[in-house]
Amino acid sequence: MSVLDSKIPKGPLADKWTNYKNSINLVNPANKRNIDIIVVGTGLAGGSAAATLAELGYNVKTFCYQDSPRRAHSIAAQGGINASKNYQGDGDSDYRLFYDTVKGGDYRAREGNVYRLAEVSGNIIDQCVAQGVPFARDYGGQLDNRSFGGVLVSRTFYAKGQTGQQLLLGAYSAMNRQINRGKIESYTRHEMLDVVIVDGKARGIIARDLVSGKIERHSAHAVVVASGGYGNVFYLSTNAMGSNATAAWKVHKKGAFFANPCFTQIHPTCIPVSGDHQSKLTLMSESLRNDGRIWVPKKLEDAKAIREGRLKPTELAEEDRDYYLERRYPAFGNLVPRDVASRAAKERCDAGFGVNKTGEAVYLDFGSAFMRYGKEAVATQKIENATDAQIKALGQKVVEAKYGNLFQMYEKIVDENPYETPMKIYPAVHYTMGGLWVDYDLQTTIPGLYAAGEANFSDHGANRLGASALMQGLADGYFVLPYTMGDYLAADIRTGAIPTDSPEFEEAENKVRGQLEKLMNTNGTKSVDHFHKRLGKIMWNKVGMSRNATHLKEAIEEIRQLREEFWKDVRIPGEMNGMNTELEKAGRVADFLELGELFAKDALHREESCGGHFREEYQTEEGEALRDDENFMYVAAWEYNGDPGTEVLHKEDLVYENIEVKTRSYK
């Protein structure tokens, strides 16, 4: 086991990034024209990186498995993006955003990276406004803000309930400009299946054209992996069905360390599971917790009556409702961080207070918001003797203006009107804080291979605060990689084009072809989805919201057995040399079957509870996460050596010089 060097610059925290930029090597514009960069993934992180690097003059190739970069899963982000501009005048600052992010991550994040994230956050908003992103504005025309969980200020910029879509369109338009200039070659419906290492450096990738089935070689002087997270290892998650970990897992098997895989976020505000027929879950934005109050019945008999359809939630008196987050966490109330809210919902449902047929749902109720906003509208419109019905109707119009598309989406899926009946929500797998280990430059343990956005681990610790994913992805792409990659690429200005006929490319292509042929030739009896669903049930039941040593050991063994069965009994119809979506899925599930074992192994080794990682053996009397700072204040980075079960642990010690590490409390 080794101790990893994160290469954090020396000096005061607020000066690290500035001093770094002042001392790095640069590539002049004429030389940038001779350097090639590959970007895998075209969501917010990959799209912004590709657009900015091409704008600087580099030759960029982008790869995505979708038919358009516009279909990246970043589009599904709803609630907003954080930035410390302090437009509300409520005490926000770069330091406050930095502090909230580190505290929210349960003191398992890296100080230098997180402060840089806060420092550039304001620039992101300026960039996106210049691109035409239609952020919401207040009555005076200023950009509006709202609150998200884990903070006491309003710093979240938003575009109704479709912020991710609008931000992605901004990055996509910037990409298109560079495609039109010939500086970006866009490869859609292509999937990266391996990275090519030449003389110890990442020098290209092997990709498969998902339409023709052709296996292709692509070379570059550096490679960026921005392919998102691995939440679909659980099968049911809020991720798009196609979201996968193949790019990250392939580079891991080539030598890039994988950090903190057990740090996975369970989002508290999702539409509950309705049956075995589902292939994914739907997220309801955390922004709804600004105005929605979460509750369950106080009495078990009332909860049972609601489940059986004998009682409607609107018929339950206020004094018979348990607003459990407000009761347990009065300072933050419904805006506690996601891990806290998720565990609290599970605890209430496990105790028998769940409100849907499965017993796994709580209410998100906007009744109070309707009346509050309605009374404001009555006052401003000078309406005299308004009835409660009038007040409620006026309040509903205000809520509709803020969240209308989310309410509409909920009604289409659930077939209930959330303006009349409280929403039902339950936690679901959402975001992964773990990912490829990177240093301050966002470079992995393979020189020339970078990871950005959700594909890396660097900024969120053990729990991501809401609205920080968009911030990190765009910070990495627009404002970090263009500097750090230039410092690395300055040594390549005389290298020339990287040939693709080298033995390294030949070996990598043959390896990819061999695995595809092995999958096609298995000729088993069960579908890919059969194995994926079984993996998901193991992960959710034994490596999900709460974990213990017994279940984790069982999960490791069960996943290993399932992987062996997969390679003996999976059946893939169709042909290899052509469009074959089952073959695509099979390769991704094969990777999940390895990643799942490492995930459980990491959770077993971390004998503490922190953020999204909750070990039942390590909790306070009140059921809160109990950290072990003395023994586990480090990043766990795993090195592949041929088998997920025997991966080697490396540590990066976390040092806090600018924040007092203390018990995380939201009471």
Which residues, listed in sequence order, are joined to residue 649 by a DSSP beta bridge? Answer: 638
pLDDT at 160: 87
The pLDDT of residue 276 is above 80: no
Instruction: Report d(CA 438, CA 435) in Å as an integer.
Output: 9
Residues 6+ apart with CB under 8 A from 123: 478, 479
Q: Given the structure tokens 């030449």, which residue do they identify?
A: 198
- For residue 54, the tally of other CB atoms under 10 A from its CB is 25
Cα 535 to chain centroid, rounded: 20
User: How many Å from the N-terminal Cα to the C-terminal Cα in the chain?
Assistant: 39
Average pLDDT over residues 17-36: 97
pLDDT, mean of residues 509-514: 98
- In the predicted model, is pLDDT for residue 1 greater than 60? no
Share of residues in the chain with pLDDT > 90 (%): 94
Taking alpha carbons only, the member of 228, 151, 196, 189 closest to residue 476 is: 228
Nearest to 589 by CA among 230, 258, 265: 230
Q: Which of 125-134, 151-160, 271-280, 503-512 is least confident?
A: 271-280
pLDDT in tens, 84-95: 999 999 999 999
pLDDT tens figures, 435-489: 999 999 999 999 999 999 999 999 999 999 999 999 999 999 999 999 999 999 9
Mean pLDDT score of the chain:
96
**Residue 312, phi-psi category: left (phi > 0), alpha (psi -120 to 50), beta (remainder):** beta
Residues comprising the chain, all counted: 667
Q: Residues 12, 119: contact at Cβ < 8 Å?
A: no
The confidence score (pLDDT) of residue 58 equals: 98
Q: What are phi and psi of 180, to 5 degrees?
A: -65, -30
Number of Cα atoms under 13 Å in the Cβ half of residue 260: 34
Pull the structure tokens for residue 113: 């990276």
CA atoms in the 13 A half-sphere facing the CB of 287:
28
Q: Which pair of tokens denotes residue 323?
A: 């607003």
State how far the Cα of 438 lies from the Cα of 459, in Å rounded to an integer: 10
- Whole-number pLDDT of residue 2: 66
d(CA 464, CA 435): 13
Pairing state of beta strands 190-198 and 201-209?
antiparallel
Beta strands in 275-361 (DSSP E): 293-297, 321-322
Whether 433 and 463 have beta carbons less than 8 Å apart is answered as: yes
CB 74 within 8 A of CB 52: no
The fraction of the chain above a pLDDT of 70, given in percent, is: 100
- What are the φ and ψ backbone dihedral angles of 88, each rounded to 5 degrees? -80, -10
Quick check: 265 and 253 in contact, CB under 8 A? no
Number of H helices, E strands in the chain: 19, 19
Q: Which of 289, 321, 338, 606 is catalytic?
A: 338
CA distance 602 to 258: 10
- The Cα 339–Cα 336 span in angstroms is 8
Q: For residue 325, what pLDDT is reported?
A: 97
What does the block give as tokens for 429? Answer: 């797998």
> In this structure, what are the phi and psi dihedrals at residue 555, rounded to the nearest 5 degrees?
-60, -45
Question: Is the pLDDT score of 220 beyond 90?
Answer: yes
| 130 CB-near residues (< 8 Å, 6+ apart) | none
pLDDT category at 664 given cuts 50, 70, 90 is confident
* Confidence (pLDDT) at 444: 98
How much is the average pLDDT of 358-378? 96
Type of residue numbered 73: H
**CA distance linking residue 141 with residue 135, whole number of Å:** 11
Residue type (1 letter), 165? Q
Is 208 one of the catalytic residues? no
* Whether pLDDT at 44 is above 90: yes
Q: Are the C-beta atoms of residues 257 and 604 closer than 8 Å to each other?
A: no
Biggest CA pair distance of the chain: 83
Tokens representing residue 537 in the block: 């049930």
| Confidence class for position 564, pLDDT limits 50, 70, 90 | very high
pLDDT tens, residue by residue, 298-346: 999 999 999 999 999 999 999 999 999 999 999 999 999 999 999 999 9
Contact residues for 503 (Cβ-Cβ < 8 A; gap 6+)? none
Compute the distance between CA of residue 250 and CA of residue 521 in angstroms, rounded to an integer: 21
Is residue 223 within 8 A of residue 402, CB to CB? The reply is no
Q: Span 589-617, mean pLDDT?
A: 97
What separation in angstroms does the CA of 305 have from each of 312, 315, 405, 421, 427? 8, 11, 31, 16, 23
| Entry pTM | 0.96
Which string of DSSP letters, residue by residue, matches 431-469?
A: EES-EE---TTSB-SSTTEEE-GGGB-SSSTTSPPTTHH
Cα(66)–Cα(77) distance, integer angstroms: 17
| Spatial CA neighbour of 9 closest among 30, 25, 24 | 24
